[in-house]
Amino acid sequence: MTWASLTERASTLARTPRLLLVQKLLRRVPLRPVDVGKLCFLQLDGVPTVPRAMLRGHARVRFATANDVAALAALQDKAPLFRARLAEGDRCIVALVDGRIVGYEWFSDNPVHRETAWGYSITIPGGYIYAYDAYIEPAYRNTGIWLRFKAHLAEWMAGSGKRGVLTFVDYGNWPSLRTHLRFGFEPTETVLALRVIGLRLFRRMRAVSAAAWSYLAWLAMHPPPLHLHHAARVLHAVAAVAHR
Amino acid sequence: MEPLAQELRTFIIDNFLFGDASGRFAFSNDDSFQDHGIVDSTGILELVCHLQERYAIEIADAELIPDNLDSVEKVARFLERKQREQSRAA
């Protein structure tokens, strides 16, 4: 290992939040008896809007049926889980390239959704859709498929009278968090999750701290000429304060 | 720093890092956007829309590859090449 790579590694470690360092260490333990994580919940009040210019590539999207489970399982080996989700009424949008499924995202409008990784129960407000478990084959990850999922969802929501989307991003997944903020999602709450062997503990925290609320209140009193990106910048500042 | 690279860097920081390129989000012009968590795949498409509008170039789907778009330096080189190609074609 060279000096340069050592310093690069030390700098990366220094920049990594403590929770993620602890998580990394715990996940190196065989059988992972203890695990910790933080789920950052985000909510979009309204139907997703995707600029047409961003719908690139030639992927086609549609809702999955029970006949697609084998193709979904070819991407992620979770056929029983996929069948159970469809049986519970959850919807799955799939992306097809040359007739082959290359990605998917799941949606639920049931009142409660039990999250798979932590077993956390998520309450879905009436009229809202919970978006979860998106996967796109690595070769197709820069082709705008996630946006096609959102555009398809928006079309369906408009026809079904749905009025918002709920989702969560794992703490530390900054690019995804920022993408959601740019698309108008707002942080609602964070959930600290701890698993010790079979025992699961959750601590819910409001996503916006008192300091951030007073900042928002100040903004309301002194409204700047808000543009989408400025609004997102404010939300990012709020999220940063809340996640500190 | 070249003006084009500086302009691209400003766009990246303003739009994808919400103005904050300090601490854990600091990056150099050679750093990979995806490896350093600066821009994700959706952000790349937003960047492409910006490049097409701001610099009046056409970017084909086949050109949406990391070699062209995964760092400030790569984007600057790609953009200069596209501009040269378009001016030759004109």
Interval B2-51: pLDDT, tens: 889 999 999 999 998 888 888 778 899 999 998 888 988 889 999 999 99
Question: Is the pLDDT at A208 greater than 90, yes or no?
Answer: no
Question: Is the pLDDT at A227 greater than 60, yes or no?
Answer: no
* A contacts of B61 (beta carbons < 8 Å): 56-58, 143
Over pLDDT 90: what percentage of chain A?
64
Contact yes or no for A51 and B23 at CB 8 A: no
Q: What is the value of pTM for the model shown?
A: 0.80
Interval A82-119: pLDDT, tens: 999 999 999 999 999 999 999 999 999 999 999 988 99
Confidence band, pLDDT 50/70/90 cuts, at residue A6? confident
Question: What is the reported pLDDT for B88?
Answer: 84
Q: A197: distance to nearest CA of chain B, Å?
A: 31
Question: What is the reported pLDDT for A214?
Answer: 45
Contact yes or no for B18 and A236 at CB 8 A: yes
- Top residue of A56, A227, A236 to mutate, by most chain B CBs within 10 Å, is A56
A-B C-beta contacts closer than 8 Å: 70
ipTM: 0.81
Three-class SS string for chain A? CCHHHHHHHHHHHHHCCHHHHHHHHHCCCCCCCEEEEEEEEEEEECCCCCCHHHCCCCCEEEECCHHHHHHHHHHCCCHHHHHHHHHCCCEEEEEEECCEEEEEEEEECCCEEECCCCCCEEECCCCEEEEEEEEECHHHCCCCHHHHHHHHHHHHHHHHCCCEEEEEEECCCHHHHHHHHHCCCEEEEEEEEEEECCEEEEEEEECCCHHHHHHHHHHHHCCCCCCHHHHHHHHHHHHHHHHC
Interval A126-161: pLDDT, tens: 999 999 999 999 888 878 899 999 999 999 999 999
Nearest to B49 among A53, A176, A181 (CB): A53
Chain B residue with CA closest to A230: the answer is B18
Greater confidence (A218 vs A190) lies with A190
Q: B14: distance to nearest CA of chain A, Å?
A: 8
- The answer to which of A53-57, A176-180, B55-59 has the lowest mean pLDDT is A53-57
- Top residue of B14, B45, B46 to mutate, by most chain A CBs within 10 Å, is B45
- Top residue of A174, A226, A234 to mutate, by most chain B CBs within 10 Å, is A174
* A contacts of B19 (beta carbons < 8 Å): 233
Question: Is the pLDDT at A15 greater than 90, yes or no?
Answer: no
* A contacts of B40 (beta carbons < 8 Å): 175-176, 178-179
